[in-house]
Amino acid sequence: MNYATLSALISTRRSFLCVGLDTDVQKIPKGISPLAFNKAIIDATRDLCVAYKPNIAFYESMGVAGWQLLKETMDYIGHEHFTIADAKRGDIGNTSAQYATAFFDHYAFDAITVAPYMGHDSVAPFLAHPDKWTILLALTSNSGAEDFEQLPVVQRSGTTAPLWQEVIERSAGWGGPDNMMYVVGATRAEHLGHVRRLIPDHFLLVPGVGAQGGSLEEVARYGMNKDCGLLVNASRSILYASSGSDFAEAARAEARRMQASMAALL
Amino acid sequence: MNYATLSALISTRRSFLCVGLDTDVQKIPKGISPLAFNKAIIDATRDLCVAYKPNIAFYESMGVAGWQLLKETMDYIGHEHFTIADAKRGDIGNTSAQYATAFFDHYAFDAITVAPYMGHDSVAPFLAHPDKWTILLALTSNSGAEDFEQLPVVQRSGTTAPLWQEVIERSAGWGGPDNMMYVVGATRAEHLGHVRRLIPDHFLLVPGVGAQGGSLEEVARYGMNKDCGLLVNASRSILYASSGSDFAEAARAEARRMQASMAALL
């Protein structure tokens, strides 16, 4: 799915919601299989969101069966949504190429999240796939972002900037707004305006609204660009809105609440 | 497997060789299944190495079948070798916990490689597993290490040091030499002495000898400590020493050559 198609979806559905499929066997209602749970969540939210983001760790932790579940979930989503493998992969070139094959070719994702630590040749194999997207971690929503992402680094120009800024500035030339996005956490809304000045045209994938406490209004105020340029993710607040047999209705109500807020902000 | 057991294995086998199982369906001899290939490589190298390191990307790229292959490969390795999931995972806490479950519980690895970018709470869930190891990326062997790992950062003390040094110094207190190791590439041998002064007691996992061109002698000279403290990995140079039906004999010859060099260095 390309930039224009994704932007058109946002405009048509009046939503920039990404539903994170963090399917946790400990949390889904008793007596429901993970696949039935995913299908019910997808059916309940399909018209309210533009993207789905399976969190690969939750599938990987189920062993071989988890990968079958991922494949069947991807088949069920179909082609009317942007799909993100939240995998945070990244390795030397020949190995990143294998990860790209796995997620882009085997599971047919549109996009994958990638960790920047190992630098350009660890990211390039993902960018080499035409019509696919690389979503690079910049400033994440967790407390550990203080440890390294926020550290001041001395840039080539001699000025000092946080590491996440250097990651954005250095990597922005590796691809373009049509094949790269950046992860910027909603819990860092005060930095979103800064990010937007650095990369006015890139999509941002924003986790941290919902269970992690970020504000949708602040994200839109500081992060939106002329085409919207945002995908705001919610996972637990939608998936586990109810732990009972009404989980799908509760998920729809929460997704509907977020979509209505988004429509007002667009 | 704990520190003492691993060190005893190195002493007994006179080897600190880790065989990287980067099993590439494009490269293994025609007519041999990936599982038969892995079993033949393991049989050919079992007495010459102390560790096996499946490179998870190569299994992931095979889809569901790849995870079955990984499981069967782990079962075949057994418990007389240290096992490393070369996965370079790392995410917010609840997600890293799922990755830890996958590799430590489901596939029974002793250790996993982890990317440090997201900071402490992305690493802590791996360290929470007793008798398991977290191997943090510090200074990798690829050209992209120049992009961010080598960048000068301003440390809390006000002094400037490369990011990889800050990663080591900051994270060394998150665990100890009995549950943490660091990745330092053999192509950066000039930095190994520096690493050793920072962390005299930790094991280092050293890729980059073999296909990537690093020198075993230099790694030993600068990186060894009183208990050895090194695991030197070779993948392609052993697995694909021959592309013919004699691949296992050729793999053994190459592993034997490395083990003999290691015995002389111990």
With CB atoms and an 8 Å threshold, state whether A118 touches B96.
no
Assess whether A88 carries a catalytic annotation.
yes
Sorted by where each begins, the domain ranges of chain B are: 3-265
Sheet of B160-162, strands arranged across: A160-162, A152-154, B152-154, B160-162
- Give pLDDT tens digits for B157-206: 999 999 999 999 999 999 999 999 999 998 877 899 999 999 999 999 99
Residue of A nearest to B123 (CA): A144
With CB atoms and an 8 Å threshold, state whether B119 touches A146.
yes
As a whole number of angstroms, the longest Cα–Cα distance in chain B is 60
Cβ atoms of A76 and A38 within 8 Å: the answer is: yes
Q: Closest Cα partner for A165 from A191, A201, A204, A203?
A: A191
Q: Which helix (H) or strand (E) holds A14?
A: none
pLDDT at position B15 over 90: yes
Residue of A nearest to B97 (CA): A57
- Give pLDDT tens digits for A81-125: 999 999 999 999 999 999 999 999 999 999 999 999 999 999 999
pLDDT at A186: 87
Q: What is the mean pLDDT of residues A164-179?
A: 97
- List, in order, residues 6 or more apart from B214 with CB less than 8 Å away: B141, B185, B186, B187, B189, B206, B208
Report the residue of B91, B96, B237 to disrupt the A interface, i.e. the one with the largest count of A CBs within 10 Å: B91
Q: Locate tokens 């979103």: which residue?
A: A192
DSSP per-residue letters across A28-87: SPTT--HHHHHHHHHHHHTTT-SEEEEBHHHHHTTTHHHHHHHHHHHHHHTTSSEEEEEE
Which architecture does CATH list for A3-265?
Alpha-Beta Barrel (3.20)
Cα-only R_g, chain B: 18
- Give pLDDT tens digits for B76-126: 999 999 999 999 999 999 999 999 999 999 999 999 999 999 999 999 999
Complex ipTM value: 0.96
Cα-only R_g, chain A: 18
Distance from CA of B187 to the nearest CA of A (A): 13
Q: Locate tokens 């069966």: which residue?
A: A65
Per the document, the length of chain A is 266
